[in-house]
Structure 1
Amino acid sequence: MRRGGGELETEVADRAAPVVLSHAEKLPDGGTLVVVSHGGTIRTTIGRLLGLQAGSWEALGGLSNCSWSVLGEGARGWRLLEHNAGSLPEPVLGDDD
């Protein structure tokens, strides 16, 4: 459904997923790609990369501000390793500690 005359979620995924894949293909082994975007764009792109049907993308839930998701590429394609995370796994120490 078009919300306010904007793009369909599938159209967003059609635009965004190929860009992510294009950059991911250029990474060296073990490299990391950071993608920054709006939560809806990230959710639809994750859904597309995981091969989920568009009607299932809502199950991923929204992405909160300043949160992230982590995907990894395995033998069978992309896997969602972490979603809507907002805390670091270990303390980050600054120079003043």
Structure 2
Amino acid sequence: MTASRIIVWRHGRTPWNVENRFQGQADIGLDDVGREQAARAAAALAVLEPAVLWASDLSRARDTAGALADLTGLPVTTDRRLREIHVGSWEGLLGEDVERVDPEASRRLRAGEDVRRSATGESPTEVGLRVAEALRDLADAAPDGSTVVAASHGLAGRVGVAELVGLPPEHRRLLGGLTNCAWVSVDRHRSGRYWRIEQYNATALEPSDPLEDRLDFATRVAAG
């Protein structure tokens, strides 16, 4: 058994996203905008007829997945391996706070290096390995040829997908950050030997967008 497509979906906006605070694994919930983003994205992803729905156990990812569960009737199964990077003592800090308490780590972070987030936090490489392991496991457990949706987090989703498709660590920085409620679509090559990115940072259109654009988006999502 194995899925043919994995949708790695970042959660909707939170108050700490607005303030640009390091969230890490703090359990910060969605704000009103985040809930609206989740509902809009869920309507687009439901077109793909997912067979299985997974999420990080942090509420912002679990509640984002819940919007899709409401439309599809699928249960949301949680996996701690889909959590965001653990930032240790940086949790709740602003960027300028990190610059003040750990200027060397802040410099390396800005340079795109594989920096551990505080002495007790994780590095992006460590996160990529655990998230990719989770994605492989949940795909292998899914029905043949199915689509799996996994609601996760910004950095975790980006580096987890990079690890899954085999991008070298030094190439991770070439992938832009995932915006709130955007997703990455990864499909298994017909040979079954590797995964590849087919869509990156895809988002649902705003309700105010022209009807023809929204219809075209739904067609493109359904076509993969």
Pairwise TM-score range, normalised by the shorter structure: 0.7 to 0.9
Give the gaps of 5 or more residues in structure 1: 92-97
Structure 1 letter corresponding to 2:187: G
CA–CA separation in structure 1 for the residues paired with 2:161 and 2:138: 15
**Is the deviation greater in 25-34 or in 77-86?**
25-34
Q: Which of structure 1's runs of 4+ aligned residues deviate more than 3 A?
A: none
2:203 is the counterpart of 1:82: no
Shift of 1:14: 1.7
What aligned pairs does 1:1-97 form with structure 2 within 5 A after superposition? 1-5=115-119, 6-74=121-189, 75=191, 76-87=193-204, 89-90=217-218
Bigger fraction of residues in helix: 2
Shift of 1:11: 0.5
Aligned residues with identical type, % of pairs:
38
Shift of 1:59: 0.8
Q: In angstroms, what is the RMSD of aligned CA positions?
A: 1.5
Shift of 1:70: 0.2
> Helix, strand or coil: the match of 2:185?
strand
Shift of 1:90: 2.1
TM-score for the superposition, normalised by structure 2 = 0.39
Higher Cα radius of gyration: 2
Give the gaps of 5 or more residues in structure 2: 1-114, 206-216, 220-224
CA–CA separation in structure 1 for the residues paired with 2:218 and 2:161: 25
TM-score for the superposition, normalised by structure 1 = 0.85
Query: What's 1:94 paired with?
Result: none
- How many residue pairs match? The answer is 91
Shift of 1:4: 3.0
